Structure 1
């Protein structure tokens, strides 16, 4: 009987989530908000005691990124950068590796070159810490002697601030898409890092999923960015979305309705980590074996079906993902699917497009203007970055130096950050490429024994 009730709850939340994937509806203040809040809290109070409590919870499920880094035995710093359009972004820095990994009397004169890691859509820099320590790219790079910086896009859990706009009160805070995230977030973050470290260039920019597109946009919009990064490495690069193979392609034909829905209800923010639907879904997914299976099923429709996602990684992920963002960010993905093989500017509609771009349709980004050396890592089983889209991207980039195609036919989009084999299959080949690039440019870093 208990399972029957759970199935009903799952079916309702699942249907509402997929039809109306939003978490913030600008409801009237006072009475309505209080009633809404009380009903939600009452529901959680009612359902919690009725669900199984036999699922192990990893302690990192309840930690912020900086606390996770410290918990793993690494030094951590929190920095804040203000973009040219006023958003305040959090950067987490791992300035060195584990203390016990250093030879004695060596650390004082090591030169650590900075690398910048950027997460994917609706995520945070927690993506880099889902897996175990020796299987985390951020920690591997730190132990090899790099100065590791982790970006957080505007609107997520760690970058929900602005110099003048209130994300809870001002709809204007959420008026951004891939365009602004690439043009402002990435450029401001890179400039900040170079200023702090007093380096001329980053040793590498490593982008996962949308993190790849954001750098390409920054390099096109701000050509000087091409000279500030030695190499750009894209993991599961989501650039063209013409051949998406996850549930977002089912939403794409209804993108105009989705935008109308946003305008009617005043929705700017979506997929917040503490939103109503995600709170309910996470509660279900975390507190019963049945719910955990439902959660895995949901993740498979976004990241692809993974054969290797174990319980530790699963519970760490759903506690932190999604981390929130703007409705326009989601809309931009759907628009790019409808446009076909391209990376296009955001489509505001014919009238606004004419004001912004001088044309009724948004223009395409000219990827040949990206002159920084690029390496791509991709998989045939990636629904977010399928082979057709990656193949198209390879023909457009101005300075593609190479690519790695996963031999494993079951390696999916999520496996880039949670697979227990990610270090072996992805990170170590990336590190070898990065070190060879360092040798070629004559910009050596410290080689430490791991």
Structure 2
């Protein structure tokens, strides 16, 4: 299958995540067992599913005037990083109609495990079950040195979910990084790669140059 992939382009790669700055995630982590129980009982192990409440919020609480939109957007910023200048507030009702879209509680827990362990590894079931599944008390790490396809890493200093330290750690391990690019905007955050007003100029032009290059290993980017 790897022969079918010419290049991988990563926006804010969530591999090593132990330097997360988001106060929301750092607050949730210590209470995860209680949150997981609630998610299991009331949401069938689906974490942050799209719901009638969110659709109501998008229509009536976040789309009446600019002040309401800014208040609702601040909840997103509290997770991903604050970049009010680049955010298009007219998109907020559309965003809230689709995001969050739900995830399994196991996926959410696996993410939180990464913030605590500082490792990119398989799901940690606990010592006893790990021994049964992995034949080891600790889950095994994914061997990133085996990834030989060309890879481009895009990151931003205003991202509260993916820290620059963690991205550079990933860069040092991957054997075939053809481009590592810091978006030249200090407040550029985790979701700006998709929603920001100037994403075409700040990010997508460089992406297209990478895609159109005949040989990604010899590309020159300025």
Q: Where on the TM-score scale, by shorter chain, does this alignment land: which range? A: 0.7 to 0.9
CA distance in 2, matches of 1:398, 1:294: 43
Q: Is the 8 A contact 2:45 2:105 kept in 1?
A: yes
Corresponding position of 2:5 = 229
Deviates more, 1:315-324 or 1:408-417: 315-324
Alpha-carbon offset, residue 440 of structure 1: 2.4
Alpha-carbon offset, residue 382 of structure 1: 0.9
Alpha-carbon offset, residue 360 of structure 1: 2.1
Corresponding position of 1:135 = none
Corresponding position of 2:161 = 384
CA distance in 2, matches of 1:304, 1:331: 21
In structure 2, the CA distance between the partners of 1:314 and 1:266, relative to structure 1 (3 Å rule), is closer
CA distance in 2, matches of 1:275, 1:329: 23
1:311 paired residue among 89, 97, 101:
89
CA distance in 1, matches of 2:52, 2:46: 10
Query: How many matched pairs?
Result: 213
User: What is the TM-score normalised by the length of structure 1?
Assistant: 0.45
CA distance in 2, matches of 1:261, 1:419: 34
User: 1:316-335 alignment to 2 at 5 Å?
Assistant: 316-335=94-113
CA distance in 2, matches of 1:417, 1:339: 28
Q: Is the 8 A contact 1:353 1:362 kept in 2?
A: yes
Corresponding position of 2:28 = 251
User: What is the TM-score normalised by the length of structure 2?
Assistant: 0.87
Corresponding position of 1:336 = 114
Specify every segment of 5 or more residues in structure 1 that has no aligned partner in the other structure, as ranges: 1-224, 442-450
Alpha-carbon offset, residue 285 of structure 1: 1.8
Corresponding position of 1:398 = 175
The SS at the match of 2:152 is strand
Corresponding position of 2:151 = 374
CA distance in 1, matches of 2:18, 2:65: 37
Q: Is the 8 A contact 1:252 1:335 kept in 2?
A: no
Task: Indicate whether 1:273 and 2:50 are aligned.
Answer: yes
Corresponding position of 1:427 = 204
Corresponding position of 1:407 = 184
Corresponding position of 1:22 = none
CA distance in 2, matches of 1:275, 1:347: 33
Q: Is the 8 A contact 1:269 1:325 kept in 2?
A: yes
| Higher RCO (C-alpha under 8 Å, 6+ residues apart) | 2
CA distance in 2, matches of 1:279, 1:432: 38
Q: Is the 8 A contact 1:368 1:398 kept in 2?
A: yes
Alpha-carbon offset, residue 416 of structure 1: 0.4
1:364 paired residue among 129, 136, 141:
141
Q: Is the 8 A contact 1:249 1:334 kept in 2?
A: no
CA distance in 1, matches of 2:96, 2:43: 27
The SS at the match of 2:209 is helix
Task: Indicate whether 1:346 and 2:123 are aligned.
Answer: yes
Alpha-carbon offset, residue 314 of structure 1: 2.3
Corresponding position of 2:220 = none
User: 1:430-449 alignment to 2 at 5 Å?
Assistant: 430-436=207-213, 439-440=214-215
**Computing the radius of gyration over CA atoms, which structure comes out larger, 1 or 2?**
1
Q: State the 4+ residue runs in structure 1 displaced beyond 6 angstroms.
A: none
Corresponding position of 2:17 = 241
CA distance in 2, matches of 1:371, 1:404: 19
CA distance in 1, matches of 2:90, 2:41: 40
CA distance in 1, matches of 2:97, 2:179: 35
> 1:247-274 CA deviation, whole Å, 9 max, x = no partner?
2122223334434444565731121222
CA distance in 2, matches of 1:394, 1:419: 25
The SS at the match of 1:398 is coil
